[in-house]
Structure 1
Amino acid sequence: MKKIKITYWLTTALLALFMAFSAYGYLTQAEMKAAFGHLGFPDYFRAELAVAKLLGAVALLAPVGPRVKEWAYAGFAIPFVSAFVAHAASGDPVTNRAWPVAFLGLLAVSYLAYHKLQAGRPQSVPAPRAEVAVGA
């Protein structure tokens, strides 16, 4: 269980850091603005994606419910796949296409480790229901 916990926190921290730094870059670097234009995305999408990445990074690191974490994982998987497709469709070099795939792999390792940790936790058991006799 300790190995799984280390794997989870290491991959999740790397992923969250990458997301936070890339979000910062989306908002501050002219090169990122040019890259989004090259891929055919409107300028406002850069800001939307930056905010979503920051919120997702917080959701992965914060002690929130499982449903929020599931949405964060899904919310990161979609842009990774989309980035791969966008780079491939625009004719970018293979190295530009490899980064989203590599981070999708990191996301998958974090996700699988998260689920293994969740499976090892004791589940809360609902209290038994009291039955009420009607018409007795």
Structure 2
Amino acid sequence: MKKDKIIYWLSTALVTVGMLLSAYQYFNGTYMAEAYKQMGYPDFLRVEIGIAKIIGAIVLLLPVLPSKIKEWAYAGFGILFFSAALTHFLLKDPTERIITPLVFLMLLIVSNIYYSKVSTKNK
């Protein structure tokens, strides 16, 4: 059980730190605004995704929230990571831009698997 908790918290922490740092860049970096423009996405989408990343990270970190809410955060991040990888692939971006969201997707899957194990054992 201790191993499961360590894997859960480590994978969750990596995802949430990544999302919070990413959200910071979404709001404070002119690079992200320019990147969204080059990809053909409206600027308001960058703001919405930045806000969603912050909310999702908080939801994953707070152990007191119901599992149904956490499931929505997991689903949202899963869609986000897949969409990011697909966008970078279709734009023929460098390989690291395609792989990075897929790495976060794998971490998210690990977090979700171990969240299920840890939450089931706590009942």
Normalising by structure 2, what TM-score? Answer: 0.96
Q: Which runs of 4+ in 1 moved over 2 A?
A: none
Tell me the CA shift for residue 10 of structure 1: 0.9
Tell me the CA shift for residue 39 of structure 1: 1.7
| Counterpart in the other structure of 2:76 | 75
What amino acid is the match of 1:66?
Answer: S
Q: Distance in 2 between matches of 1:72 and 1:79?
A: 10
| Counterpart in the other structure of 1:27 | 27
Gaps of at least 5 residues in structure 2 are none
Q: Distance in 2 between matches of 1:71 and 1:97?
A: 24
| Counterpart in the other structure of 2:106 | 105
| Counterpart in the other structure of 1:56 | 56
What amino acid is the match of 2:6?
Answer: I
Q: Distance in 2 between matches of 1:89 and 1:73?
A: 24
Question: 1:121 aligned to 2:122?
Answer: yes
What amino acid is the match of 1:103?
Answer: F
Tell me the CA shift for residue 73 of structure 1: 0.3
| Counterpart in the other structure of 1:130 | none
Gaps of at least 5 residues in structure 1 are 123-136
Q: Distance in 1 between matches of 2:100 and 2:39?
A: 15
| Counterpart in the other structure of 1:17 | 17
Q: % of aligned pairs identical?
A: 43
| CA RMSD, Structure 1 to Structure 2 (Å) | 0.8
Q: Distance in 2 between matches of 1:14 and 1:47?
A: 22
| Counterpart in the other structure of 1:127 | none
Tell me the CA shift for residue 60 of structure 1: 0.3
Aligned pairs, how many? Answer: 122
What amino acid is the match of 1:6?
Answer: I
Tell me the CA shift for residue 36 of structure 1: 1.3
Q: Distance in 2 between matches of 1:5 and 1:35?
A: 37
What amino acid is the match of 1:81?
Answer: F
Normalising by structure 1, what TM-score? Answer: 0.87
